[in-house]
Each structure stands twice: as C-alpha cells, then as structure tokens.
C-alpha cells in the first residue's frame, strides 16, 4: 500500500546524515532537533504552537486531558475512524457519543453532530479522514453556539488545506482549539517509528500541554499537573525535519496518483470515486473507492490473486466492537458507517508509484468488471 523503501532510496543520504548527527550528539531525549522540528512544522502549518509527543494516540489523549473534562462529559465523534480517536475518550471516563459520517466524504456529518448535542456535550472531535478536511467552518459554528471544545484529529491529513467561505485558508488541525497528528511511518508525514504532535493557537493550552506531556512538570522536579511521559525522540525529529522539506512534493505526487485513478475509473459505474469537497484540498492519505453491488470482497480477492494489495479501512463500525458494547448502541443505529464498512476499498497510494504499477492496477480492476458485469 505504501513503499517506504522507494522513498528511502530517494532521500536516504539526507536521512542517514541526520541520524548520524543525533548519534554523535547522544542527545536522544529533547535534543535540539526536537525544538527545530517543532519550529519548522509550526511555520509550515501556520500555527502558534506545535507540541511534539510520542504518537498520534498520545496526542489525542493529551488533548482530552488538558481540556479539564470530567467523567461523564459527552464527546461527539465519528463512528467511522481509527480506534485511537475513540479509545482516549473512553480511557478518561468521558461519555463517547458516536455519530454517522457523511456517505460521500466519509467525514463526520454536520447534521448528525447537531442531533447528538445535549446539555452534557463538552467537545466535538472531527477526524479529517483519508486526507480531506471535515467541514470545519460549520463545525466551529456549532461549537461556538453551544460553547464546545473542538479537537481535530488530523492524523491522516498533514498538509491538507481547509478553505473558508471568505476564502481564508488554514491547515487541517489548526482550526479547532487543539489539533492532533500522527507521524506513524505510513502517514503523509511519517517518521521511522512512532511520533505525534499537537497544534494550538492558545498560549495557555500550549504551556499546559507541554507540561502534561512531560510528567506534569512545571519546573525541574516540581509537578503542577498529573502528567504522562510522551516525547518525540530526537532521532525521529531529525528524520521528520528531512521529510518535512518534501511533504508538499509528496502530497502533490499522491494527488497525481488520485487523478490518474479517477480518470481510469470514470466510466466504471460500479465504483464510486472518492468525493472531493469544495472546502478542502485532498492529500490522499488513502484513495478509497466505494464498491457497489456487494462485490467489494470479490474484487479484493481478485486483486490479491494478482498480488495487488488493497485494504479495507475500516472493516467494522466502532459501535459494534466488543470493547465498546457498553455504549449500548444497537446494530442498526449507524446505517451509513455500516454500509461504508461493507463497501470501501483503499488502493495502493504513495508518492513513488510508477506508471507501470498504476496501469496494472487500473487495467486489472477494469478487467474484473468486464468479466463479471
Ligand atoms: C485517524 C487517526 N487517529 C489517530 C491515530 C493514532 O496515531 P498513532 O498510530 O501515531 O498513535 C491514527 C493512526 O493510525 C489515525 O489514523
């Protein structure tokens, strides 16, 4: 699905020298590259603060911790996301309120959010799924009206732009009170291990987040908050500094792949192409089709037989997961997520795809339909 080896072949010498300089400095924790990376990402994102941490799940956890929410407070998020988005809410004893996504964009439905708000609602967590922003302008308006926090899960959308109706442009993750991201290796900006970060324009939240991510320490061995240990390794920061320079090129290359797929499948009525919304650019963390007529698994198997990898993100809606049974949702409560889980199929997507690979993938899929139609 991604080819990190091909990428390493391109930028290997720069990566090697970044790693070597950290090894020579032995500043493995909180070395200079961590601060430099935060500053560089801050500039790229156009945000006042970037606080790096150990992974994207921790970033969400830290965001939920810093908002001062109390057990039982309700947090609304999408039922169609990676499990990390919801597990941190559950871990803090907050009440998880799941809602369906929009069937076209896969992102949290604004109407469903409105319907789910109660006097106990305290926060909304939109996820910018597969590389495209949720409808943040509308979500921020709802949050303002009901005095709610917004934590954007931007793990899959590093570099995507949200375009407001007055044409202002902001990066995914910098619009809500806090944004979070992941540098998991396969992400658009990925490191060579685990890594994550938080974004905020609020100086107080930033100060507190830095403290909580470092054991709640304000001054050395003085603890003002209950914290955790969640730091980005210097080695990963050094790698990310190299990769950040290429992020725009990599994202453009992904878009070219998506354009090619779109064009190749345009006449294939059984495939619904990923919708591109007017208010967001799409950086195609995933290129995800909807396969109609119940043929998703058959198509997946056929492609597997040709050694073409595909993935189902996500195969089961969160409300039916064993661990979340206690939320009390019924099987048919989320028809959109349930239908998506049966239909979605993500194709190989990365910046180093070769024309030959693209031709083989697209012609194989078209052949499948010629044979089975
Ligand atoms: C939407 C979303 N949120 C959160 C995470 C968690 O990130 P990490 O794997 O770095 O903990 C991921 C990573 O896969 C993700 O896709």
Laid out side by side, the sheet with 287-291 consists of 271-272, 287-291, 344-347
Q: What is the pLDDT of residues 50-100, one digit of tens each?
A: 999 999 999 999 999 999 999 999 999 999 999 999 999 999 999 999 999
Write down the pLDDT at residue 357. 97
What whole-number distance in Å separates Cα of residue 92 and Cα of residue 282?
32
DSSP per-residue codes, 168-228: -EEETTSSSSEEEEE--TTSSS--SS--EEEEES-HHHHHHHHHHHBTTEEETTEESS---
| pLDDT, position 373 | 55
* Residue in 56, 77, 85, 231 to alter for ligand 1 test, most ligand atoms within 8 A of Cβ: 56
pLDDT digits (tens, 9 = 90+) for 274-329: 999 999 999 999 999 999 999 999 999 999 999 999 999 999 999 999 999 999 99
User: In this structure, are residues 156 and 131 in contact, taking their beta carbons and an 8 Å threshold?
Assistant: yes
| Sign of the torsion formed by the C-alpha atoms of 210, 214, 219 and 223 | positive
Positions of E strands within 240-349: 271-272, 287-291, 344-347
Name the residue with the closest Cα to ligand 1, atom 7. 56
Atom index in ligand 1 nearest the CA of residue 84 equals 4
List pocket residues of ligand 1, CB cut-off 6 Å: 55-57, 81-82, 84-85, 127, 153, 155-156, 182, 184, 194, 196
257 pLDDT higher than 60: yes
Average pLDDT, rounded, for the chain: 97
In this predicted structure, the answer to whether residue 371 has a pLDDT above a threshold of 90 is: no
Question: What is the torsional sign of CA 324, 325, 329, 332?
Answer: positive
pTM assigned to the model: 0.97
Mean pLDDT, rounded, for 184-213: 98
Rounded CA gap, 311 and 297, in Å?
10
Give 77 Cα–ligand 1 centroid separation in angstroms: 15
Tell me: pLDDT of 370 over 90.
no
Q: How many angstroms separate the alpha carbon of residue 291 from the centre of ligand 1? A: 25
Mean predicted confidence (pLDDT) in 187-213:
98
Concatenating the DSSP letter of every residue in 133-144 gives ---HHHHHHHHH
Ligand 1, pocket-test mutation among 52, 55, 57, 127, most atoms within 8 A of CB: 57
89 with 68: CB under 8 angstroms? Answer: no
Distance from the CA of 245 to the center of ligand 1, in angstroms?
A: 22
| Beta bridge mates, 332 | none
CA of 82 to the centre of ligand 1 (A): 7
Which atom of ligand 1 has the smallest separation from the CA of 128? 1
The answer for residues whose C-beta is within 8 angstroms of residue 192's C-beta and 6 or more apart is 15, 185, 235, 236, 239
Nearest atom (ligand 1) to Cα of 184: 10
pLDDT of 198 higher than 80? yes
pLDDT of residue 360: 98
Out of 2, 63, 151, 184, mutate this one to test ligand 1's pocket (max ligand atoms within 8 Å of CB): namely 184
The set of long-range contacts for 292-297, using a CB threshold of 8 Å and a minimum separation of 24, is: 292/343, 294/342, 295/270, 295/372, 296/342, 296/343, 296/344, 296/345
């Amino acid at each position: 699905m991604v080819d990190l080896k091909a990428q390493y072949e391109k930028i290997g010498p720069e990566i090697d020298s970044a790693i070597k300089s950290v090894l020579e400095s032995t500043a493995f924790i909180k070395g200079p590259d961590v601060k430099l990376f935060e500053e560089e990402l801050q500039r790229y994102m156009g945000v006042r603060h970037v606080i790096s941490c150990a992974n994207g799940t921790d970033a969400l956890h830290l965001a939920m911790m810093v908002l001062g929410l109390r057990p039982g407070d309700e947090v609304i998020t999408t039922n169609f996301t990676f499990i990390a988005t919801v597990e941190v809410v559950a871990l803090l004893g907050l009440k998880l309120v799941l809602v369906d996504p929009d069937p076209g964009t896969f992102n949290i439905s604004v109407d469903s959010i409105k319907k789910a708000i109660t006097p106990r609602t305290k926060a909304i967590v939109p996820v910018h799924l597969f590389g495209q922003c949720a409808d943040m302008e509308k979500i921020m308006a709802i949050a303002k009206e009901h005095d709610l926090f917004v934590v954007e899960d931007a793990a899959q959308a590093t570099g995507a732009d949200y375009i407001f109706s007055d044409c202002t442009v902001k990066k995914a993750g910098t619009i809500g009170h806090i944004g979070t991201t992941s540098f998991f290796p396969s992400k658009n900006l990925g490191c060579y291990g685990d890594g994550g970060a938080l974004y905020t324009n609020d100086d107080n939240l930033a100060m507190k987040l830095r403290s909580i991510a470092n054991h709640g320490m304000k001054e050395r061995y003085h603890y003002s908050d209950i914290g955790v240990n969640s730091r980005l390794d210097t080695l990963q920061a050094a790698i990310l500094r190299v990769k950040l320079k290429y992020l725009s090129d990599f994202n453009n290359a992904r878009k070219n792949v998506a354009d090619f797929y779109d064009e190749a499948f345009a006449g294939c009525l059984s495939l619904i192409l990923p919708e591109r919304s007017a208010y967001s650019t799409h950086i195609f963390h995933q290129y995800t089709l909807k396969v109609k007529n119940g043929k998703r698994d058959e198509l997946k198997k056929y492609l597997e037989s040709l050694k073409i990898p595909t993935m189902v993100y996500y195969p089961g809606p969160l409300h039916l997961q064993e661990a979340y049974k206690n939320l009390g949702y019924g099987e048919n409560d989320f028809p959109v997520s349930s239908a998506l889980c049966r239909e979605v199929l993500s194709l190989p997507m990365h910046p180093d795809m070769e024309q030959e690979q693209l031709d083989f993938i697209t012609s194989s899929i078209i052949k499948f339909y010629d044979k089975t139609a």
